[in-house]
Amino acid sequence: MMAKPLVVVIPHQLGRSEARRRIDARIGQGRDLVQKAGLTMQDPVWTGDTLGFQVGAMGQSVSGTIAVEDEAARVEVHLPLLLGVFSGKVRQVIAEKGGELLAT
């Protein structure tokens, strides 16, 4: 059973194609951070301008998407109920690291 999705909107002024390019170019860094934290990550997959990802944490599967729009990237993460207690920290990390993904 899943908790309500956690949504973080990260504004940018890059335009859709540049924002997508930066996310795509830096997704490997995110994967390295995930693995250093002792988690697993499947290969992210683009469908149009939406990147789907799945991370394994504490025997649980966390999935989500990053929808790249003209002026924002909308990150949606589906946390299992067991991991819902971490939603505040997850939101904070997404907001901080997401901004870094789109920075120059």
Give the mean pLDDT of 40-69. 90
Residue 61 structure tokens: 């599967």
The better pLDDT of the pair 61, 37 is held by 61
The whole-chain average pLDDT of the chain stands at 86
Is 1 a residue whose pLDDT tops 60? Answer: no
* Residue type (1 letter), 33: L
The DSSP result for the chain, as a single string, is -BPPPEEEEEE-SS-HHHHHHHHHHHHHHHHHHHHHTT-EEPPPEEETTEEEEEEEETTEEEEEEEEE-SSEEEEEEE-BGGGGGGHHHHHHHHHHHHHHHH--
pTM: 0.84
pLDDT in tens, 80-97: 887 778 788 888 888 887
pLDDT in tens, 32-45: 877 777 788 888 99
Domains and CATH numbers, the chain: 6-102 (3.30.310)
Closest CA to 19 of 55, 46, 54: 46
In this prediction, residue 4 has a pLDDT band, given cuts at 50, 70 and 90, of confident
Give the mean pLDDT of 8-23. 94
